[in-house]
Structure 1
Amino acid sequence: MRAIRWFERHAPQDFALYGYGWDKLPRLPTRLGGLVHRIEGALPLRPRWFPSWRGVAASKHEVLRRARFSICYENVGGLRGYITEKIFDAFCAGNVPVYWGAEDIADYVPETCFIDRRRFRSYDDLHAYLVSMPEDTFFGYQKAIRDFLASPKAQRFSTRTFAETIVAGVLSRL
């Protein structure tokens, strides 16, 4: 939320928000929040809570492909080994992710493949870095991403490995 609000205030021309539910009031984590959302959904006219919201993307890949950078924050921060699809969606689109999540991300993904949000004191610093990035630095990130995705180290995140893990887990319980 802080990232969204910072970019909406300070760099709206450089930021677009996509996804489900962003057209609603930020939800309270209670039953009251659910009730508010149901009432809000029934209203004919609703306020626009997030001016940067562009709707639900028909294709996440296409949106990411058109952007140079994307904010890839995990829903749970600081949890070792918790790495979801977000960073890989960016990689597959040729987009350089600004990542914040697993504290041990560099044990799984080379640091040359992403921008580590933790290395910036503020969103001002992060934004300055992004908009002033030389083309050769940007292309360096993209090359590192391609090299990583083609490496054996990336295979642990493949759909095949995922399916094999699920099947092995199910079979071990039979």
Structure 2
Amino acid sequence: MGRALGGAASGQRDLAAARGGWRARAYRRSSRCRRPRPGAQAGRHAYRVAASAALRSAAQVTCSYAALATRNTEFHADRVFDPRAIAAMRASLEPMATPWLAVHAAARERGLRVLTADRVEAEGIDPRQVLVIAYDWTPDAERLIARGARPAVLVSFEPPVIAWWLYYHLEEVSARFPHTFLFEGARDRVARTTWFHPLYFPQPCPPPRPTGRPWSHRRFLAMINSNKALPRGRELARWLDRPRELSVRREIAGLRYRPIARDRYRARLRAIAAFAEHDDFDLYGEGWQNRHPAVEPALHAAAQRAYRGTVEDKLKLLAGYRFALVYENTRFSGYISEKLFDCFFARCIPIYSGAPDIAQYVPPATFIDVRQFPSFPELERFLRNITEEDAKRYVDAAHTFLISPAFESWCAERFARDVVDALVQTAEE
């Protein structure tokens, strides 16, 4: 939790350390993306660190566009900035999409129009008037920069096990951007010339509080996860849903940078198998109808016994359960996804397995840590012995956290403000 409270101060220290490197940056800067600074005598350092007030003023920047470059085609054509379009997307995309609504709104207040990268060419916009927000490193970002657009922000809501190419080449890629927003575990891997912003997975603020069932009427345990598994070794030959060459390259990258290979998919499947023996455990998510080639038949059969279909409203569903298994995609410092917060919002007690430093971000009184139990039978005994009074303590602790200043670091509006500040700073360089 201390780290959550100290994120802003840490960012300013990183900024001061990187200041000299910014001056030596190799890529060209377009003079069209500048605006006069308030106070000609203000020093470079003093201007940056003082000035949230100046940065957030109503002054307009000459560089009036920022392009979000992403591989996800469902975000293209500005759909990621349309609440109705986001509602029509796959449920798994919603947590990745909704923070950009806040960025779009915050940028508009500062005189910047944020659009998706494909719209730059479609609308005939001069790339030299465009700041690039690269969500991961994409061909669209590379093309825009080659045509004169200005790299500004590199960001990813994914950990190394998913965005493996980005993390493997992170020092090289981040050197092209003045600002990098990634999870804490990436801090030592980014280039020294970029300002590292520790990323807190953006959440809605104020947090939603759906009406849940009384404790006595709730079912025992749920898990909401897509059916994903990353193969290893000889299993690569049987992994049919990706090109073989790409799979081999990913495997090699994982040997050289271990977080790429540090997934939690097998652990998640073992948890499913352990609780699927009971009829009060329910599994939800996409893709469980078909067995992945890398998943053993016994594990798939266990998942099928507990599978209850896909989910339209996660919070409404979780509000009907006492507990939820929350297994992150990987163990990576600072990588805490929306799954944990969905439980907090729904007054459902999370059983957490993921970030090794979770207690530095979220109070331990708000969740049950899987690492405290040597086996699933012992975990199950603990859960079944929790009284309604015990449960209320977990739920109340989570509510206290959600209304505390510590939770502000997770707010989508905070993320949006920081991204837009980074865009404005880049335009002024």
Partner of 1:22: 288
Does the CA-based 8 Å contact 1:19-1:57 persist in structure 2? yes
Aligned residue runs from structure 1 range 81-160, under 5 A: 81-160=334-413
More strand by share: 2
Q: Deviations over 1:138-165 (max 9, x none)?
A: 0000110010000000111112123234
Does the CA-based 8 Å contact 2:273-2:302 persist in structure 1? no
2:318 corresponds to 1:64: yes
Instruction: Give secondary structure in 1 for the equivalent of 2:306.
Output: coil
Instruction: Give secondary structure in 1 for the equivalent of 2:276.
Output: helix
CA distance in 1, matches of 2:274, 2:292: 16
2:329 corresponds to 1:75: yes
CA distance in 1, matches of 2:305, 2:276: 7
CA distance in 2, matches of 1:135, 1:101: 26
Q: Deviations over 1:46-73 (max 9, x none)?
A: x996221110112111111000110111
Post-superposition offset of 1:134: 1.5
User: Which residue of the other structure, out of 245, 266, 270, is the alignment partner of 1:2?
Assistant: 270
Instruction: Give secondary structure in 2 for the equivalent of 1:161.
Output: helix
CA separation of 1:163 and 1:49: change in aligned 2, threshold 3 A: same
Does the CA-based 8 Å contact 1:87-1:99 persist in structure 2? yes
CA distance in 2, matches of 1:26, 1:90: 28
Partner of 1:35: none
Instruction: Give secondary structure in 1 for the equivalent of 2:355.
Output: coil
Length-normalised TM-score, structure 1: 0.81
Q: What value does the CA root-mean-square deviation take over the aligned residues?
A: 2.0
Does the CA-based 8 Å contact 2:276-2:303 persist in structure 1? no
CA distance in 1, matches of 2:423, 2:281: 42
What number of residue pairs does the alignment pair up?
Answer: 154
Q: Deviations over 1:24-61 (max 9, x none)?
A: 103539xxxxxxxxxxxxxxxxx996221110112111
Q: Deviations over 1:92-140 (max 9, x none)?
A: 0111100111111111100000000110011101111111102111000
More helix by share: 1
Post-superposition offset of 1:170: 4.8
CA separation of 1:172 and 1:54: change in aligned 2, threshold 3 A: farther
Instruction: Give secondary structure in 1 for the equivalent of 2:324.
Output: strand
Moved more, 48-57 or 87-96: 48-57
Moved more, 111-120 or 155-164: 155-164
With a CA cutoff of 8 Å and minimum separation of 6, indicate the structure with the bigger relative contact order.
2
Moved more, 107-116 or 13-22: 13-22
CA distance in 1, matches of 2:421, 2:303: 44
Query: What are structure 1's unaligned runs of at least 5 residues?
Result: 30-46
Give the partner amino acid of 2:294: L
Does the CA-based 8 Å contact 2:363-2:401 persist in structure 1? yes
CA distance in 1, matches of 2:393, 2:271: 25
CA separation of 1:55 and 1:105: change in aligned 2, threshold 3 A: same
Give the partner amino acid of 1:120: F
Post-superposition offset of 1:168: 4.0
Does the CA-based 8 Å contact 1:24-1:49 persist in structure 2? no
Partner of 2:182: none
Length-normalised TM-score, structure 2: 0.34
The higher radius of gyration belongs to 2
Post-superposition offset of 1:169: 4.7
Post-superposition offset of 1:23: 1.4
Query: What are structure 2's unaligned runs of at least 5 residues?
Result: 1-268, 296-300
Instruction: Give secondary structure in 1 for the equivalent of 2:330.
Output: coil
Moved more, 164-173 or 48-57: 164-173
